[in-house]
Amino acid sequence: MRWHAQQAAGTTQESPPLTPAPPLPFDLGSAFVQTFDTPGFAGMTFYEINAKSVLNRVASTSEVPFEWTVNPYRGCGHACVYCLAGDTPVLMADGSTRPIAQLRVGDRIYGTVRFGSHRRYAVTEVLDHWTTTKPAYRVGLADGTEFTASRDHRFLTTKGWRRAAVGGQLTGFGKKPPMGMLEGVSVESCEGLEIVDVQPLGSRQTLYDITTGTGDFIAAGVVSHNCFARNTHTYLDLDAGHDFDSRVVVKVNAGQVLRRELGNPRWTGAPIAMGTNVDCYQRAEGRYRLMPEILAALRDFANPFSILTKGTLILRDLDLLRQAASVTTVRLAVSVGSTDERLWRSAEPGTPSPQRRLDVVRRLSDAGFAVSVLMAPILPGLSDSEEAVDATVRAIVAAGAVQVTPLPLHLRTGAKEWYAQWIGREHPELLPLYRNLFGQRSQMAKDYQRIITNRVRAAIHRHGLVAPERPFRAIEAEAAAQAAEAARPEQLTLL
């Protein structure tokens, strides 16, 4: 999303930022820039805006079971991750190519647009252009094409948008440039566009990316996505400066705007999901306090909503949550993958500890809420044994959860190398197991998934957990979709 389209005019604030901040990587006009001289926000920069809208409609092509979300915080997680080497050729609108490093805002280039179930080439415009330094990978195609990209970069394959992985079949024209005008021509694959090699270069390089009007562009003869930065902001509960670039857009008027939108006669009162893309109780919420006003608006309009979080700040708003639950449906879920403190310190060192998350479950349950727990990610060889599963389920049940949804580790294409590095460093004896379970897949072997799921179910039965009369299927599905499809971060904190 380009934030200049979301900002209302006339953003003003009373005080200047405490220290100089980096320039905005997008056009926020009069956004107010804040940094805070406190240890919890060291290295973080906040871009405060007045948003025009906070109700986000989920794309109709999405598989998640909810239609509307509210995200009071955004940031670099929806700009680019600066993914390609500067010499990567980009197809211009006149049929020539230009290195991505030399592109400028306003340049006309080729992208693609969807027509039914297919895509066609279309002329678009460069809207933004950035650089950064990141670990680089060399990607090789069967036709001899080579280019350098970050691990996060996505390409259009015959199976949809994917990260580069050996065996993937890219779309585009490769080394055979099109003859004549390309606009309107169907996007297809061709011989030689199979990925045959993906090698880490072992160094950090200056990489580039752009934002375009179509959301993609043609680089090195293949269709390349505008690569969004950081794995969303669901996990801004991490310590400041750890594992991500710390620039956050804050919709300081989120509660006021939501109240106005809920009062629109055309609004149908559909359920609203929060925490599916951005953890609304991330660390910044402790300072900005946007959720109380959001919850008050949902309460006053009796609008059903759900929250998925692993943060502890939700406890601050218990009274508002109770008030809302008295007039509408409120569904709450917390993520707890394991109760092993040593594993948590190694795998997720910046997140709230398992005991703190269980305390959230306990406090919410004591307050009268039927709390669901997403048991994720369950790590083969580390947190999937009968003993480990039993200990985790026992603690979850003791905390008062009414439902436990197991989610075995899911490694999206392009993440396996990173997870393998972590496993190789911390648990090298497990590498053969992971090779056998995952191979070239993003999901582990189904038989092993069933083993893990059955262990969890058996533990649930042993500890007497009774399913609620109306299970939280929306929470379960949205949590699974977040972790397994759109929100890699729960897993990527392990890499």
Structure tokens belonging to residue 61: 């092509």
Do residues 160 and 149 touch, judged by C-beta distance below 8 A?
Answer: no
Q: So what's the pLDDT on residue 142?
A: 94
Q: Which of 145-159, 181-195, 308-322, 378-392 has the lowest mean pLDDT?
A: 145-159
Q: Read off the pLDDT of each residue in 51-71 and give the average, rounded to a whole number.
A: 78
In sign, the C-alpha dihedral spanning 59, 68, 334, 240 is positive
Compute the mean pLDDT over every residue in the chain, rounded to the nearest whole number: 78
Q: So what's the pLDDT on residue 345?
A: 80
Q: Read off the pLDDT of each residue in 310-331 and give the average, rounded to a whole number.
A: 94
Is the pLDDT score of 115 beyond 80?
A: no
Higher pLDDT, 411 or 293: 293
Structure tokens belonging to residue 456: 């969890």
- 63-102: pLDDT as tens digits: 456 789 998 876 333 233 446 888 999 999 998 999 998 9
- 463-479: pLDDT as tens digits: 988 544 433 333 344 44
Q: Where are the domains of the chain?
A: 1-76+232-318, 84-225
Q: Which CATH class is domain 84-225?
A: mainly beta
**pLDDT range class, residue 424, cuts 50, 70, 90:** confident
Q: So what's the pLDDT on residue 421?
A: 74
Higher pLDDT, 283 or 321: 321
The CA distance from 358 to 354, in Å, is: 6
Sheet containing strand 216-219, edge to edge, reads: 97-99, 89-91, 216-219, 222-225, 154-157, 160-163
Q: Nearest-CA neighbor of 292 among 324, 261, 260? A: 324
Q: Read off the pLDDT of each residue in 276-286 and give the average, rounded to a whole number.
A: 78
Segment (H or E) for 199: strand 195-212
Is the pLDDT score of 161 beyond 70?
A: yes
Is the pLDDT score of 238 beyond 70?
A: no
Is the pLDDT score of 334 beyond 90?
A: yes
Q: So what's the pLDDT on residue 216?
A: 86
- Percent of the chain predicted with pLDDT > 90: 42
The strand pairing partners of 148, in sequence order, are: 138
Q: Read off the pLDDT of each residue in 299-317 and give the average, rounded to a whole number.
A: 93
Using DSSP's 3-state secondary structure scheme, residue 277 falls into coil
Do residues 228 and 176 touch, judged by C-beta distance below 8 A?
Answer: no
Q: Cite the beta strand spans of 116-188 per DSSP E.
A: 118-141, 146-149, 154-157, 160-163
Is the pLDDT score of 453 beyond 60?
A: yes
Threshold 0.75, pTM exceeds: no
The CA distance from 166 to 416, in Å, is: 12
Distances (CA, A) of 359 to 115, 370, 407: 49, 14, 21
Q: So what's the pLDDT on residue 286?
A: 86
Q: So what's the pLDDT on residue 33?
A: 74
Q: So what's the pLDDT on residue 93?
A: 92
Q: Cite the beta strand spans of 213-317 per DSSP E.
A: 216-219, 222-225, 247-251, 272-274, 305-309
Give the single-character DSSP code of 469.
S
Give the single-character DSSP code of 17.
-
